[in-house]
Amino acid sequence: MRHYWPVELRPGFDALFGLDDVMAEVVASSTQPALGAIRLAWWREALERLDQHPPPPEPRLVAAATILLPRGVTGATLAALEDGYATLLDEVPDSDRIGAGGEALFAIGATLLGAQDAKLALAGRLHAFASAARHGFAAFPDDVDFTALAGHRFSRALRPLTAFARLAARDLRQAPMLEPEATPARAAALLSHRLFGTIS
């Protein structure tokens, strides 16, 4: 996916998705939910502190402070990513919190891209559910309707971000059986989205 991001924004997207990845890694590696929650809380609090203090010597926090904050992304906004992962440690994950984490991720991505869309939040929620399903954290919820995205065309400026939702829509149709990441069909879906901007 990295080659879909504008060259000048790749460091920013690398920093953003690096934080998203580390939170997913915490959930995946936590054999005890309580300890996993403590580790996630550390990341949330460390990100919140970036708005007032220099980062500790942790590469992903340094990248957030030096690359994302100058582009108008706050530490508090980055900290909002944590709750969507924290609920994955619950016995029954809260689908609304998972979706809100995806909304936060896409809102930050849109800030980097300098573009907006009224349906971007729904696309972010779709991506979050697909990511949780692909990691084996939670299944797609039955009570979330994504039909509002059908036929909607995202602007060319947003497509480096909404491409994630295009793949998520493909996962939703195939769930619970999900194809491997790097298939020709997924590559074709990304190309189609790049050309036309539609999710489904």
Question: Residue 196 pLDDT > 80, yes or no?
Answer: yes
| φ, ψ of residue 153 in degrees (nearest 5) | -105, 115
**What does each C-alpha distance from 59 to 56, 67, 110 come to in angstroms?**
9, 12, 23
Q: Global pTM?
A: 0.94
Question: Residue 2 pLDDT > 80, yes or no?
Answer: no
Q: 197 — alpha (psi -120 to 50), left (phi > 0) or beta?
A: left
> pLDDT value at position 47?
98
> pLDDT value at position 158?
96
> pLDDT value at position 175?
82
> How would you label 157-191 residue by residue, b for 16+ Cβ within 10 Å and e otherwise?
bbbbbbbbbbbbbbbbeeeeeeeeeeeeebeebbe
Question: Residue 145 pLDDT > 90, yes or no?
Answer: no
Confidence of residue 182 (pLDDT cuts 50, 70, 90): confident
> pLDDT value at position 143?
78
> pLDDT value at position 141?
87
What is the average per-residue pLDDT within 136-148? 86
Question: Residue 200 pLDDT > 90, yes or no?
Answer: no
Question: Residue 84 pLDDT > 80, yes or no?
Answer: yes
Confidence of residue 160 (pLDDT cuts 50, 70, 90): very high
- Boundaries of every domain in the chain: 2-196
Residue 56, classed as helix, strand or coil, is coil
**What does each C-alpha distance from 189 to 27, 120, 150, 163, 199 come to in angstroms?**
29, 18, 15, 9, 9
> pLDDT value at position 54?
96
> pLDDT value at position 179?
87
| φ, ψ of residue 82 in degrees (nearest 5) | -65, -40
Name which of 85, 150, 87, 156 is nearest 115 in CA terms.
156
